[in-house]
Each structure stands twice: as structure tokens, then as C-alpha cells.
Amino acid sequence: MRTYSEDTTKKVGKTVEVKGWVQNRRDHGGLIFVDLRDHTGIVQLVVQPDDKDAFTQAEHVRDEYVISAEGTVVERSNDLVNPNLKTGKLEIKVNKLSILNKSEPLPIQIDGEGVSSEEVRLKYRFLDLRRSKMQETLKKRADYYKVIRGYMEKNEFTEVTTPILANSSPEGARDFLVPSRLHQGKFYALPQAPQQFKQLLMVGGIHRYYQIATCFRDEDPRADRLYGDFYQLDLEMSFVDDGEQVRNTMEPLILDLVTDFGKKNLLTKNIPRISYQEAMDKYGSDKPDLRFGMELVDLTDDLTNCEFGVFTNAISQGGVVKAIRVEGGSDLSRSQIDKFTDIAKSEGAGGLAYITFQDGEAKSPIAKFLSDSELKIIQTKTNAKDGDIVFFGADTRMVANKVLGRLRSEFADHYNLKDPNIVALAWVVDFPFYEWDDKSQKVDFGHNPFSMPKGGVDAFKDVDNDEKLLQIIADQFDLVMNGYEVCSGAVRNYNPEVMYKAFASIGYDKKHVDEKFGAMINAFKYGAPPHAGCAFGIDRIFMVLLGEHNIREVIAFPKNGSGVDLMMNSPSPVDELQLGELGVELSEAED
């Protein structure tokens, strides 16, 4: 018998056997009560002195001992019913009890108040998983996978697994490299995504492919991104030449996961399409949280001739002046404004100018540099009312958007505008094909080179400088959920001519393309169909649906915020013999 099942009440008066962990033990002198827990719940055991062997064993039982008990199911008297338990009307009078395994005193608390720190919980994750919340999370995750697989199979997608030992691929992050023993001096790479393989499946005649794929990226961890390995719903569709076909195919699954599975309310059932440029200009982010407003307002043209040097200097150098209104923000203290100023500086701002509208006046250290008509325009365009505060960003368009976009999110946190029961979805479309890379000081691919530029090879006509390159648009899209990017996809570049041209435009010759992507280029020469696809970050979606703010809470065995597996002590040194077999030598780490 499980500790709880739908037919438990039918077993009153019958002898049953239960097994599980001791949640707690209470010795009331003449009686010993044991709360026994398994994956279905908790049931109370009652051990009486009359059953000497069972009573003796029960005296030695402690928390988290693993035991087996046999006894009779009886109903509790009305005054002893526990309404907090599914089995609260019943208990088992034990006549036989066996200790299957003992437990040392616990280093963390399993349930109840005072949950241990994340570091301690991850070190003892095998114990942390016994917590009821973690048990429910993992069960729900399994159900989540069932919904996904059911939808994909219903829509004629074929599940295909792709290799884990693969080649290095430019997906925007560092690879995890695996040295080859058989081919010393050469390396496999753990796939950042199954990108090349899934496109080759399309060439191979697979109509629609999917898998719940494990991906590997050497990126710094954060609250919404796991370190090392993560999971995505990876899919591709053949004979598709428009990203809208992919979006329309997958929308019903996402909407169902939000409403039926996650029991969340949608901000709107019709998922809006927002261009990348519009998202950046209105929200300061390519993954805007639409649960609240606070759109960015461009005041560049209105303040070109003002007397505030910070604004006019930015404009004269080709920059912009933008503003964001915080409703009711006049209650912000000086220290709080200083905190937001520090956040702005961390994103590249020199400072943070602001104006408070109160009692029909504009109050600010910068107000004296602005005319009455300019102050009126600011108030009108930002829709500021008494009690509101307006913050400004004056810099290049990119920096101003970035600064105010970050502040927009911080203000929403401060005023609790992010309702966890609402899910706001948006497709962000028309991403730039290329972007400027500050590290290398040159133009590089925005996402990856496998997307189709809008217009195909014609997109490169008359493109003879970096500025024109940066204007090329890719048929590329993301799905945004409550400010998180949860999907990225595109129409693929299946034409070798376009592929060569895309690389040549940023300085890579045909030989480089053939060396890096020979299998794909070669395959595309043999009748590759138009195809498109995407990948959903299912860990991140699950995190939002469960209302968590830390992605490590929805994974069975995550690494910590430093990328370390505290439980398995990984990464760790390896034996010199292993390194010798691989032909690998370690150099002294630099200080």
C-alpha cells in the first residue's frame, strides 16, 4: 500500500504494508506515533507497547530512517482528524515494524520552516529532492514533457536524436571541447545546439523533426540561465520559407502550456509581432516584459536646442534623448534615486537626470536649463501627471535604450508591476543579420550564420560598407515570455551561394566556409528543401509557469552560480594517466 491512494478509505479494517521515510516520530509514553512519507504523501503509524517487537523497533526510529510497517488501517476519532493530510482521517495500527536503513542526523531540513541556503541544498541535493516542493516540481516536469511530446507527435513531427560528440559550431557561446584519444590533437565539441544536424535531417527528407535536446554552452550562469547543460525543444520543418509558418504551428502549444498546464492568465490570447527595432526603441530591450507599460519616449527633436549641455552634446554627436515616466514615482527617496543612478551607470550612462512633477510644477536640478515650453512638451509626450517622475537617457541610441530598458525593469520590480499570475507573450521579429562586435571591433553575425537574410542573395546588392551590412535584416525571430527570451528561430539559409556571400561580406573566404561547414554546404548542393525551425528553452518556460525566479529550482541536479556541482565535486582534476592517453598536457595557470 502507498501512504496515500484514492482507495485508501476502502482499506479500513484491512491489513496493509507500507514503506517509506520517517517524517517525524513522537513518543507519548504509552504510544509511539510515526509519520511515514513516500512519494504519494504521509500516513500516521501508531505503535502500542502490546506489540513488543514493533514497539522496540519504533523506539530506535529517527527522522529519515527508511522503514517498513505492517498493520491495520483504522479510522481516527473525530477529535484526532488531521485536515492537513490527505490521510488525515486514517491511521495504521502497527503490529510489525522493520528498519530497512538508518539515517545520520540531517545536514539540511527536508520540510518545514527554515529552508537551508542554496549552496548547502545543492551539496546535499539527494536530500533536498525529498522536499515535497521538489517532488512536486519533478512530477510536474514529467507531465510537462508529456504535453510537449503529445503535441509534437500529433502535428507530424518525428523525434530524432542527434549526436552529443559533434564539431564546433558558432552559436554565440564558448564550446565545451572533448579531446580525442583515437585522433590526438583533435577535439570533439559538445553541441551548443543540434543546428547543423537538424538542417541535414531536412535535406535527408525528414518532413518535420523534433527532440528534447541537451545543449552545452560555456556561458556564465545567472538566475535564468543554467551553466553547462540545458534542455530545449528543438524542431525543424521542411518546405517552409516564411517564419510565420513556424510561429503559427507552435503557438497553440505555448498557449496551451500557459493556460491549461500552467494555469496562468494570458495578457492577450493573440501573440503580438514586434520588430526588433520597435522593441528596442519602445522598451529598450529585445525581450520586453509587456505586463506593464512604461514605454520609452524619444524627445530628441524636441530638445535639440535646449540649454542643458548633457542633452545637446549627445544630440550633436548623433545620439538621442529619451525618457521614461514612472507613475507615482515622486515618492522615491534620494537614496532610492541614487540606487537607480548606480544601475544606470552600470549600463554605460554617465548619470541619471530626472524631473518630478508635483503641485503643477516641474521640480529638478535640470529644470532651470529647460524652457517652460520644453518642460510642457516633456510632460505632454510622457503623459506625466502630478506625482510622477520622468527619467532621461542621453547618449547613443544603443546606450540610451539599454540604460532605460534596464531601469524600466528595475522600476517594475520596485513597484511590484510584474504580476506572476499573468503571462505576456510576444514574437520579436526581423532581427539584424549582422551586429557590431565590440571585442573584435568588427561586424559579425547577429545570432548565427544559418539564417536566411530577407531577400536572399539580393540583400547583399550594393552593400559595400559596415553601415549597410548592419542594415540587412534576417528572417529571424524570438519568443519573449514575461521579459525572458524563451525561443529563437529562423528561416534557414539553405542556398550555398547565399551562405558563401554572407561569410564573404565579413571577411571569410570560401575555403573557411568549406572547412567549418563542409557537411552542410555539400548537402545543400543536392536538392535541399526550403526549411525553417526554432528551439524553445523549456527550462526557462517551466520556470515562468511555476512562478520561480531561479532556474536552478526547476532542475534535478543543477550546478551552482559559479558553475560547480557541489554534490559531485565537479569540475575536478583528472589522473595524469588519463591526460597522457589523450595527449593532453596542462600548463601552469597564470596568476
In this structure, the answer to whether residues 347 and 204 fall within a common structural domain is no
Kindly give the interhelix angle for 132-154 and 538-545, rounded to the nearest 10 degrees.
120
User: Among 74-88, 140-154, 473-487, which stretch is predicted with the lowest mean pLDDT?
Assistant: 74-88
Grid cell 528534447 in the structure block, residue:
212
Give the chain's end-to-end CA distance (angstroms, integer). 60
d(CA 34, CA 22): 7
Identify the CATH number of the domain in which residue 192 sits.
Answer: 3.30.930.10
Residues 6+ apart with CB under 8 A from 333: none
In a domain, 508, yes or no: no
Task: Say how many C-beta atoms besides its own lie within 10 A of residue 30's C-beta.
Answer: 9
The residues facing 19 across adjacent strands are 68
**Helix %, strand %, coil % for the chain, to 5?**
35, 25, 40
pLDDT, one tens digit per residue, over 360-384 is: 899 999 999 999 999 999 999 999 9
Question: 459-491, pLDDT tens digit by residue?
Answer: 898 888 888 999 999 999 999 999 999 999 999
440 contacts: CB under 8 Å, gap ≥ 6: none
pLDDT at 407 over 60: yes
What lies within 8 Å, CB to CB, of 176 at 6+ separation is 189, 190, 216, 217, 218, 228
pLDDT digits (tens, 9 = 90+) for 527-548: 999 999 999 999 999 999 999 9
Same domain as 25, residue 62: yes
Residues 319, 205 share a domain: no
Q: What is the pTM of this model?
A: 0.91
In the predicted model, what is the mean pLDDT of residues 79-103? 92
> Residue 589: CB partners within 8 Å, gap ≥ 6?
none
Asked if residue 303 lies in contact with residue 310, where contact means CB atoms within 8 angstroms, the answer is: no
Is 286 within a domain?
no
Identify the weakest region by mean pLDDT among 84-98, 110-124, 314-328, 487-501.
110-124
Residue 522 domain-assigned (yes or no): no
Q: What is the pLDDT of residue 114?
A: 67
Q: Is pLDDT above 60 for 322?
A: yes
Three-state SS for 72? strand
Same domain, 399 and 542: no
Instruction: Decide which of 417, 447, 467 is a domain's last residue.
Output: 417
Task: Residue 2: name the closest of 37, 49, 46, 51 by CA.
Answer: 37
- Residue by residue, DSSP assigns 171-213 as SSSBPEEEE-STTTT-EEEE-S-SHHHHHHHHHTT-SEEEEEE
Say if residue 76 is exposed, middle or buried (CB neighbours under 10 Å; 0-12, 13-18, 19+). middle
Average pLDDT estimate for 508-525: 88
Whether the predicted pLDDT of 397 surpasses 90: yes
127 and 230 inside one domain: yes
**204 near 229, Cβ under 8 Å?**
no
**One domain, residues 81 and 179:** no
Under 8 Å between Cβ of 306 and 370: yes
Q: Report DSSP state, residue 164.
A: S
Q: 226 and 83 in one domain?
A: no
Position 513 in a domain: no
**In this model, does residue 55 exceed pLDDT 70?**
yes
pLDDT of residue 84: 84
**Phi then psi dihedrals of residue 3, to 5 deg:** -65, -30
Range 73-90 average pLDDT = 89
* Least confidently predicted of 117-126, 144-153, 347-356, 449-458: 449-458
Angle at 355 between CA 350 and CA 359, to 5 degrees: 165
Last-in-domain residue among 101, 133, 151: 101
Which residues in 39-153 belong to E strands, given as ranges?
41-47, 66-75, 90-101
Indicate if the pLDDT at residue 8 is higher than 70.
Answer: no
Residue 141 has pLDDT above 70, yes or no: yes
Q: How far is CA 236 from CA 240, 246, 473, in A?
A: 9, 9, 21
* Structural element, H or E, at residue 256: helix 243-256
pLDDT of residue 177 exceeding 60? yes
Q: Is the pLDDT of residue 40 over 60?
A: yes
Does residue 139 share a domain with residue 97?
no
**Structural domain count, the chain:** 3
Residue 49 belongs to a domain with what CATH number?
Answer: 2.40.50.140
Q: What's the grid cell of residue 48? A: 502500542
Query: Does some domain include residue 466?
Result: no
Running DSSP on this structure, what letter comes out for residue 453? Answer: B
Q: Are 284 and 296 in contact (CB under 8 A)?
A: yes
Tell me if 96 is assigned to some domain: yes
One domain for residues 75 and 186 = no
CB 364, CB 353: distance < 8 Å: yes
Whether 491 and 243 have beta carbons less than 8 Å apart is answered as yes
Three-class SS of residue 305?
coil
- For residues 69 and 135, membership in a common domain is answered with no
Q: Tell which of 401, 417, 433 closes a domain.
A: 417
Domain with residue 305: its CATH number is 3.30.1360.30
Cα(227)–Cα(563) distance, rounded to whole angstroms?
Answer: 5
DSSP states along 325-373? EETTGGG--HHHHHHHHHHHHHTT-S---EEEEETTEEE-TTGGGS-HH
Question: All 3 cell numbers of residue 484?
Answer: 525572458
Q: What percent of the chain has pLDDT over 90?
A: 76
Confidence band for 398, pLDDT divided at 50, 70 and 90: very high
The pLDDT score that the predictor gives to residue 9 is: 64
Average pLDDT, stretch 206-221?
94
Between 7 and 486, the more confident residue is 486
Q: Are 265 and 297 found together in one domain?
A: no
> Do 263 and 124 share a domain, yes or no?
yes
Contact 110, 127 (CB under 8 A): yes
| Assigned domain for 188 exists | yes
518 in a domain, yes or no? no
Give the residue numbers spanning the domain of 16.
8-101
Q: Is pLDDT of 5 > 60?
A: no
Measure the CA–CA gap between 557 and 137, rounded to whole angstroms: 13
Radius of gyration of the chain from its Cα atoms, rounded to whole angstroms? 30
